[in-house]
Each structure stands twice: as C-alpha cells, then as structure tokens.
C-alpha cells in the first residue's frame, strides 16, 4: 500500500468513534473535493481503500463558489471523475457576488463549511487534503498577523464540525509527494488560476515569501512543520495547567466549562503567566461567552486593575473595588472577593415604571428580555407567590432605595438592601433587577425572592414570574 493511502487509512481508523470500533463497522467518509491536485489525490486514495473494502462508503462534497469563469466547468469535471469512480457527489453552487464585487477569504470559507456541516451526521468524518506545505503557510500567516502558542500549532489533524469531525490525513506529506502520486496514477485535476495571483494573503506567502526563504534554508518546510507539532504539544500542557488552575480557584464546580465565578483570593496567588493562561482558557471555553477569545490587551487591562487595587493582597477593604472589564463577548466584574463572568448585554438599570395590564402576555423590560407569568406548582412546604387578585394593579418598577419586604425565608420585613446582601446579589444586578408590584406592595423579584405576605394558599392561585435571559 502506498504511503499516501496508508496515511489516509491510519487517520481514518484513528478518528472513527469508539462505538464503531466496538461493532467492527466502518463509518461514512466524505471527501472535500475541489477538483484541484490535493483533493484529487485524496479522492483517488479513498477509492483505492474502498476497493479493498477498508472503508465501507465514500462520498464527495464539492462547492462551486461561482467566483471564476470556469467554476461551472470545474463542477462538471468533479462530477465526471466521481461518476468514473462510482462515488456519489453532492455539489452546492454559491452566489457570493450578489451583494459585493469583492469576496473575502473568510466569507467563502464560512459558506463552504456551512455546506459541509449540513451533510455530516453523527460520527461522520470529512477528509480535507491539507498537506505539509499548507501547514507551513498557515503558521507563517498566523505569525505575521500575531499569534500565541495555540495559533502556532497551525492546522489540527482533526476537529469537530457539527455532528461530525474533520480529519486531515496529509499534514505530514509534502506537495511534491502528492504531485508525484498523481502523475504516477495519471490523475486529472484542475489548475485554479487564482492560486498564482497574489490578491490573497496566503498566495503571497506561497508564491513569494516561501520560495525566497527556501533559497537559503531548503529544509525550512520540514523544520517549521516540526515546530507546529512542538507548539501543539506545549499548548496541550498549557490547557491541562489552565484546567487544573481553574478548578482550583473555582467555587466547588466540577466542570470547568460552567464556572462563572472564581475566587480572587486564590487567583491572585498564581503567577502572572498562569493568571493569563487561566483567563484565556476560562473565557474561550465558557458557553456564556459564545466561545470567543479574549485579546491580550483585554486580559492585560484586567490584570492591571487587579494589581493596582490588590497589589499587597489585602482583601479587607475590597468592597469599594469596582471592576467592569470586557473579555471576549463577556465582561468580568468583582463582588464578594470573586471575579464574575457576565454577558456584555447585561442591562445597567431599569429607568421607568412599566404597567403590566395583562399578565397572560409577556412584557418587555429590556432589549431582548421579557418577564413571563406562568402557573406554578403548588407546594405547602415551599412558599409560592399568589396571582394578583381582581382589581390589583401589576407593575414593574426599578429600585429606588428604602424598599422593605418580608422574603419567604424571614418572619419580619426588612430593607431590600439587606436582603440583597444576605442573598449575595452582586451590586450591579441590584441596580437593574426588576421589581414586580401588586398595587404599591412588592410582590416579588423574579428569580430572587417573593413576598411572604403574598404567598399562595392553593394551587389555583399559584404563579411564578420568569425573566428570560437573566444574567447570572
């Protein structure tokens, strides 16, 4: 078996699911097939494995970007080759020029990946033909733009895509090796003229920079490819350290992906390098952040403010410290000696009184946030709020200060300020949490407390108010 075919088979077997291995069955393999040299080799190699019954089923996916005059002819070529191999081809013609005459690399890439993802079912694999030279181009591209050790790992061998997974079996194979294999097997492929044009950043690296470097360092591709392996290994170590550090500074949360508060008294004792590493990991892995990355400047600003206030690690007077720093798509706040991860869209303050004439319909209180009234399960042991009686006016009001209420866990009324302190409600949420009134009496604060004096006596009158997308 040729090295290229064995590389594909090894990668395929490595990434098939454990359930498939246990049942000794083979999963469907998709080939991302553009019709160029690299993907033509990948398709042909997969056909050889299919003939030897080492892979049960192979299908191809082709994207017609419509950006070249020859795009339709290329699609026809891909269909012809797949028909020859008896491999099913799914094609998708895009219309990227409808809104703009200039198409970015990212726009074309995103449209392409959306098409690929739409075809992947649970545990399906899609193979891409990225090779060693692509790996080096990606490394240089990221270094020129600015990257850390994670980005220096360049193209990963595999990653999730929707319900399936991308695999790249040729990352240790050079472009020249693919060309040699294609010529020996008399393969036909498309030459995309845009690859020779320097309108795209990667083409400049491929056509100008790398050839110039190779004149003085002929082995530079091997050397830089080895570096990407080292970078990925070192990044795995950093991830492991960050995961352990995050669990160590969290508040008894067993999953690092759901931690929204960290103990600043523990965090501040880490070295600055580990603090940065932890913050990058915390932000990018938290679903509330929508998995976006924090910039180095954002993290530097956060650490600068923490160091300025807690330089002597003195937490006795920390109540006066106000923190509100953007990290990724979130903001980091400070309260009760903890760093809190909050969404950037969290409201700042409710400014006006909102009448709620019909509680069967939700009422808008903030942008994209509403309060709903739902029937509540009645429980004699756990107090629940009663619905408003006939004639009682329901309204939503901001906090003005001095309000009193008897919460469900107290026997006497006290100021709302003290209740917020008892319930550990951070100061910024106290400014915007909406208060529901029946006439001029506080009925509840959704998700926080109810008025014990207005508790329900039966299931018929039990009600609950919910604030959707309420920030924690």
Residues 293, 279: Cα–Cα separation, whole Å: 10
Pairing of strands 354-355, 462-467: unpaired
* Residue 73 and residue 114 in one domain: yes
pLDDT category, 457, cuts 50, 70, 90? Answer: confident
Tokens of residue 223, six digits: 């050397």
How many C-beta atoms lie closer than 10 Å to residue 55's C-beta? Answer: 22
Reported as a pLDDT band with limits 50, 70 and 90, residue 117 is: very high
**Per-residue confidence (pLDDT) for residue 101, from 0 to 100:** 47
What are the two backbone dihedrals, phi and then psi, of residue 101, each rounded to the nearest 5 degrees?
Answer: -85, -15
Q: Are residues 134 and 36 in the same domain?
A: yes
Do 304 and 311 touch, CB atoms closer than 8 A?
Answer: no
Q: How many domains does the chain have?
A: 3
Which residues share a beta bridge with 127? 31, 167
Q: What is the pLDDT of residue 21?
A: 55
Best mean pLDDT range from 6-20, 316-330, 371-385, 395-409:
395-409
Whether 203 is in a domain gets the answer yes
Q: How far from the centroid of its chain's Cα atoms is residue 94's Cα?
A: 25
CA distance 279 to 298: 10
* One domain, residues 210 and 282: no
| Domain annotation covers residue 391 | yes
Q: Do 57 and 173 belong together in one domain?
A: yes
Query: Is residue 193 over pLDDT 80?
Result: no
Tell me: pLDDT of 345 over 60.
Answer: yes
* Inter-residue contact 61 to 31 (CB < 8 Å): yes
Q: Which domain holds residue 252?
A: 247-343
394 and 425 housed in the same domain: yes
Between 37-51 and 71-85, two packed helices, what is the crossing angle to 10 degrees? 20
Mean pLDDT of the chain: 87
Asked whether residue 197 falls in the same domain as residue 258, the answer is no
Judgement on whether residues 55 and 182 belong to the same structural domain of the protein: yes
Average confidence (pLDDT) over 418-439: 91
- pLDDT over 70 for what percent of the chain? 89
Look at residue 234 and tell me if it is in a domain: no
How far is residue 256's CA from residue 62's CA, in Å, rounded to a whole number?
38
Question: What's the token pair of residue 213?
Answer: 């470097």
User: Is 194 a member of any domain?
Assistant: yes
pTM, to two decimals: 0.76
Q: Are 60 and 78 in contact (CB under 8 A)?
A: yes
Give me 324's structure tokens.
């509100």
| Distant-in-sequence contacts of 97-101, Cβ < 8 A, 24+ apart | 97/66, 97/67
Residue where a domain stops, chosen among 216, 238, 262: 216
CA distances to 359, 383, 386, 394 from 378, in Å? 19, 8, 10, 21
The CATH number covering residue 61 comes to 3.40.50.620
Does the residue 423 lie in any domain?
yes
Do both 424 and 374 map to the same domain? yes
- Structure tokens given for 207: 């056509």
Residues 333 and 367 in one domain: no
Instruction: Tell me, yes or no, whether 324 and 212 share the same domain.
Output: no
Handedness of CA 257, 259, 264, 265 (dihedral sign): negative
Average pLDDT (344-373) is 86
DSSP 134-193: HHHHHHHHHHHH---HHHHT-S-SEEEETTEEEE-TTTTS-HHHHHHHHHHTT------G
Domain final residue, candidates 216, 234, 258: 216
Q: How confident is the model at residue 111 (pLDDT cuts 50, 70, 90)?
A: confident
What pLDDT shows up at residue 178?
A: 97
Same domain? For 120 and 149 the reply is yes
On the 0-12 / 13-18 / 19+ scale of CB atoms within 10 A, 23 is exposed
Is 228 inside a domain boundary? no
């Amino acid at each position: 078996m040729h090295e290229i075919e064995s590389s594909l088979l090894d990668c395929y077997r490595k990434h098939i699911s454990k359930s498939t291995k246990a049942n000794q069955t083979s999963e469907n393999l998709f080939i991302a097939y553009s019709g160029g040299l690299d993907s033509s080799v990948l398709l042909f190699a997969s056909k050889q494995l299919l003939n030897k019954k080492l892979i049960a089923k192979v299908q191809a996916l082709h994207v017609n970007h419509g950006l070249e005059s020859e795009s339709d002819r290329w699609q026809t070529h891909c269909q012809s080759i797949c028909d020859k191999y008896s491999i099913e081809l799914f094609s998708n013609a895009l219309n990227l020029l409808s809104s703009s005459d200039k198409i970015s690399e990212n726009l074309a890439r995103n449209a392409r990946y959306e098409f690929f993802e739409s075809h992947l079912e649970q545990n399906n694999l899609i193979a891409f033909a990225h090779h060693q030279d692509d790996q080096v181009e990606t490394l240089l591209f990221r270094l020129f733009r600015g990257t850390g050790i994670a980005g220096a790992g360049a193209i990963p061998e595999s990653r999730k895509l929707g319900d399936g997974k991308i695999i790249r079996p040729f990352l240790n194979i050079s472009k020249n090796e693919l060309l040699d294999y294609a010529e020996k097997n008399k393969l036909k492929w498309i030459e995309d003229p845009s690859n020779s044009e320097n309108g795209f950043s990667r083409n400049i690296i491929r056509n100008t920079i790398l050839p110039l470097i190779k004149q003085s360092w002929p082995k530079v591709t091997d050397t830089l490819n080895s570096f990407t392996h080292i970078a990925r290994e070192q990044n795995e170590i950093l991830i492991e350290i960050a995961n352990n550090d995050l669990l160590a500074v969290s508040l008894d949360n067993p999953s690092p992906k759901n931690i929204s508060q960290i103990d600043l008294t523990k965090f501040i004792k880490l070295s600055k390098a580990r603090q940065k590493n932890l913050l990058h990991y915390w932000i990018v892995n938290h679903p509330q952040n929508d998995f976006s990355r924090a910039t180095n400047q954002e993290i530097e600003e956060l650490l600068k403010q923490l160091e300025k206030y807690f330089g002597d690690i003195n937490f006795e007077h920390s109540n006066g410290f106000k923190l509100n720093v953007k990290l990724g798509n979130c903001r980091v706040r400070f309260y009760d000696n903890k760093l809190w991860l909050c969404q950037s869209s969290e409201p700042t303050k409710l400014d006006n009184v909102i009448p709620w004439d019909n509680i069967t319909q939700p009422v808008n209180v903030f942008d994209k946030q509403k309060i709903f009234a739902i029937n509540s399960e009645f429980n004699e042991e756990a107090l629940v709020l009663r619905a408003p009686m006939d004639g009682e006016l329901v309204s939503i009001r901001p906090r003005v200060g001095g309000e009193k209420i008897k919460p469900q866990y107290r026997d006497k009324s006290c100021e709302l300020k003290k209740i917020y302190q008892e319930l550990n409600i951070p100061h910024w949420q106290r400014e915007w949490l909406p208060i529901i009134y029946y006439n001029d009496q506080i009925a509840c604060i959704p998700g926080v407390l109810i008025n014990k004096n207005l508790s329900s006596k039966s299931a018929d009158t039990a009600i609950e108010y919910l604030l959707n997308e309420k920030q924690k």
